[in-house]
Amino acid sequence: MNNDFPFDEEVDPASPIGVVVGGSVSRGLEVRLHAGAAAEELKVGTFVTVQGQQSRFFGIVTDLDLASADPRFAATAPNASPAIADILSGTSTFAIAKVTPTLALSSMEEAPKPARSLPGHFAKVRRATNDDVQAVFGSEDDRHVFIGSPLDMEDSRVCLDLAELVKRSNGVFGKSGTGKSFLTRILLAGLAQRNVATNLIFDMHSEYGWGARSETGYEVKGLKQIAGARVAVASLDEEDARRRGVSTDFIVQIGYDEIEPEDIAILAPTLNITDLGVQAAYSLVRHFKNNWVSSFLAIDDMQGLADQLHESQSTLDALRRRLAQFQRFGFLSEGGVQGKGAVATLMDYLDRGIHVVLEFGRYGDSLAAYLLVANLITRRIHDQYRRRTEEALASSGKEPLPLVITIEEAHRFLSPQLANQTIFGTIAREMRKYHVTLLVVDQRPSGIDQEVMSQVGTRIICQLDNDRDVDAVLTGAPGARELKTVLSRLEAQQQALIFGHALPMPVVVRTRNYDQSFYSEFSGGFDDMLTVEAQRKKDKEDLFG
Amino acid sequence: MTSITTATRFGEVVEASVERLVAQCHQLYESPALGTLVRAGSPDGDQSAVYGVVSGVETASLDPSRRAVARGADAASEEEIYREHPQLEQLLRTDVTVTVLGHINGTSLNQYLPPLPPRVHTFMYACASDEVRRFTERLDFLALLTSMRTPTGDDVLAAVLRQASTAHEQPNEFLMRAGRAVASLLGGDMPRLNAVLQRLPL
- The verdict on a CB contact (< 8 Å) between B183 and A72 is no
Distance (Å) from the C-alpha of residue B183 to the closest C-alpha of chain A?
Answer: 6
- Helix (H) or strand (E) holding A318, with range, is helix A313-323
- How far is residue A48 from each of residues A111, A153, A364, A506, measured CA to CA in Å? 17, 11, 44, 12
How far does A83 lie from chain B, in Å, by closest CA?
6
Q: Which residue has the higher pLDDT, B103 or B7?
A: B103
**Contact between chains at B189 and A70 (C-beta distance less than 8 A):** yes
Average pLDDT over chain A, rounded to an integer: 86
- The ranges assigned to domains in chain B are 8-127, 134-202
Pick the residue from chain A with its C-alpha nearest to B198.
A84
Note the pLDDT tens digit of each residue in B123-140.
999 999 989 999 999 999
A70, A73, A81, A93: best to mutate for the B interface, most B CBs within 10 A: A70
Could you count the other beta carbons within 10 Å of the beta carbon of residue A260?
17
Task: State which H helix or E strand residue A184 sits in.
Answer: helix A180-194
Q: Is the pLDDT of residue A264 over 80?
A: yes
Q: Which amino acid is at A455?
A: Q
- How many cross-chain Cβ pairs, A to B, lie less than 8 Å apart? 47
Yes or no: say if B98 and B54 are a contact pair by the CB < 8 Å rule.
yes
- Candidate from A539-543, B63-67, B120-124, B151-155 with smallest mean pLDDT: A539-543
Most B CBs within 10 A among A79, A91, A94, hence the mutation to make, goes to: A91
List Cα–Cα distances, B146 to A121, A311, A419, B173, in angstroms.
27, 93, 69, 21
Separation in Å, CA of B198 to nearest CA in chain A = 8
Q: Select from B139, B184, B193, B198 the residue whose CB has the most chain A CBs within 10 Å, as the one to mutate to test that interface.
A: B193
User: Residue A488 in 3-state DSSP?
Assistant: helix
Give pLDDT, residue A7: 41
ipTM of the complex: 0.71
Residue numbers in A near B176 (CB within 8 A) = 83, 86-87
Calculate the alpha carbon distances from B139 to A119, A269, A384, B160 in Å.
Answer: 31, 76, 80, 12
Give the pLDDT confidence of A370-406 residue by residue, as tens digits. Answer: 989 999 999 999 999 999 899 888 888 788 889 999 9
In angstroms, what is the C-alpha Rg of chain B?
A: 18
- pTM assigned to the model: 0.80
> What separation, in Å, do the N-terminal and C-terminal C-alpha atoms of chain A show?
38
Residue B47, pLDDT score: 65
pLDDT digits (tens, 9 = 90+) for B58-113: 999 988 898 888 888 888 998 899 898 888 888 999 999 999 999 987 778 899 99
Question: Which of A76, A79, A87 is nearest residue B179 as measured by Cβ atoms?
Answer: A87
Residue A531 has pLDDT above 60, yes or no: yes
Task: Give A172's contacts (C-beta < 8 A, 6+ positions apart).
Answer: A180, A183, A184, A187, A439, A440, A441, A442, A460, A461, A462
- Give the nearest chain A residue to B199 (CA atoms): A84
Phi first, then psi, for residue B33 (nearest 5°) are -75, 165
pLDDT of residue B21: 96
What is the per-residue pLDDT across A446-479, written as a single tens digit (0 to 9) for each? 999 998 998 899 999 999 988 999 999 998 888 8
Residues of B whose CB is below 8 A from A35: none
Query: A84 and B197 in contact by Cβ < 8 A?
Result: yes
pLDDT-based confidence at A5, cuts 50/70/90?
A: very low
SS (H, E, C) chain B: CCCCCCCEEEEEEEEECCCEEEEEECCCCCCCCCCCEEEECCCCCCCCCEEEEEEEEEEEECCCCCCCCCCCCCCCCHHHHHHHCCCHHHHEEEEEEEEEEEEEECCEEECCCCCCCCCCCCEEEECCHHHHHHHCCCCCCHHHHHCCCCCCHHHHHHHHHHHHHCCCCCHHHHHHHHHHHHHHHHCCCHHHHHHHHHCCCC
Chain A residue whose CA is closest to B184: A91
The nearest CA of chain B is from the CA of A36 a distance in Å of: 14
Contact residues of A toward B, CB < 8 A: 68-70, 72-73, 75-76, 79-81, 83-84, 86-88, 90-92
Q: Which residues in A195-244 belong to E strands, given as ranges?
A: 198-203, 212-213, 219-220, 231-235
Query: For residue A433, which phi and psi values (nearest 5 degrees)?
Result: -55, -40
Can you tell me the distance from the alpha carbon of A396 to that of A390, in angstroms, rounded to the nearest whole number? 10
